[in-house]
Chain A
Amino acid sequence: MTDDSLTQLPKKRFKIINLIWLIVLIAGLFISINVTNTHISVLLENFSQFSDIFVQMANPDWSYFPTVIPLLLETIKMAVLGTIIGSALAFVYSLLIARNIIKNKLVTGVLRFIMNIIRTIPDLLLGAIFVAIVGIGPVAGILALSVFTFGVVVKLFYEAIETIDPGPIEAMTAVGANKLQIICFAILPQVMTYFISYSLYAFEINVRASTVLGYIGAGGIGLYLQQTLQVFDYAKTGTIILVIIVVVVLIDYISSKSREALMK
Chain B
Amino acid sequence: MDTTMKELPSKPINKKARLIHWLIALVTVAIVVWSCTGINFGGIKATAGQIAGAIFSGIFHPDWSYVYNGSGEDLISQLWQTLCIAFLGTFISAIISLPFAFGAAHTKHKKWYTSRIGKIVLAIIRSFPEIVLALMFIKAVGPGSAAGVLALGFHSVGMLAKLFSEAIENLEDGPNDAIRAVGGSKIHVIMFSILPNLMPALISNTLYRFDVSVRSASILGLVGAGGIGYPLIIALQYRQWNRVGVILLGIIAMVVVIDWISGMIRKKLV
Q: Which residue of B lies closest to A248 (CB)?
A: B127
Main secondary structure of the interface of B (DSSP, over half): helix
Tell me the smallest distance from the CB of B67 to a CB of chain A, in Å.
Answer: 18
Q: How far apart sit A212 and B80, CA to CA, in the bound complex (Å)? A: 26
Q: Is B43 engaged at the interface, CB distance under 8 Å to the other chain?
A: yes
CB distance from B160 to the nearest CB of A (A): 16
- Which residues of the partner chain A approach B222 to less than 8 Å between Cβ atoms? 124, 128, 215-216
| Interchain nearest-CB distance for A224 vs B (Å) | 12
Interface locus among B106-114, B133-141, B169-177: B133-141
Chain A residues with CB below 8 A from B55, complex form: 129, 132-133
CB of A77 within 8 A of CB of B35, answer yes
Q: Are A122 and B146 in contact (CB under 8 A)?
A: no
Closest to B237 in A: A132
* Interface 9-residue window, one of A25-33, A58-66, A97-105, A165-173: A25-33
Alpha-carbon distance A31/B255, docked complex (angstroms): 20
Tell me if B51 and A132 are in contact (CB < 8 A): yes
Smallest Cβ-Cβ distance to B217: which chain A residue:
A122
From A37, A76, A117, contact of B144 by CB (8 A): A37
The reply to whether A80 and B140 form a contact with Cβ atoms under 8 Å apart is no
CA distance A156 to B145 in the complex (A): 33
Q: Is B88 part of the contact surface with A, judged by Cβ < 8 Å? A: yes
Q: How far apart sit A142 and B35, CA to CA, in the bound complex (Å)?
A: 11
Given contacts A74-B38, A74-B39, 8 further A-B contacts (CB under 8 A): A47-B140, A54-B136, A77-B38, A80-B31, A128-B232, A129-B55, A212-B129, A252-B127
Chain B residues proximal to chain A, CB less than 8 Å: 31-32, 34-36, 38-41, 43-45, 48, 51-52, 55, 80-81, 83-85, 87-88, 91, 123-124, 126-132, 135-137, 139-142, 144-146, 148-150, 215-216, 218-219, 222-223, 226, 229, 232-233, 236, 244, 248, 251-252, 255-256, 259
A-B pairs with the 4 shortest C-beta distances? A32-B84, A36-B145, A135-B45, A50-B140
Identify 18 residue pairs between A and B in the complex whose beta-carbon atoms are under 8 Å apart, listed by A's number: A35-B145, A36-B81, A36-B145, A37-B144, A38-B88, A42-B140, A50-B140, A54-B136, A80-B35, A125-B232, A132-B51, A132-B55, A135-B44, A225-B129, A225-B131, A244-B127, A249-B124, A249-B127
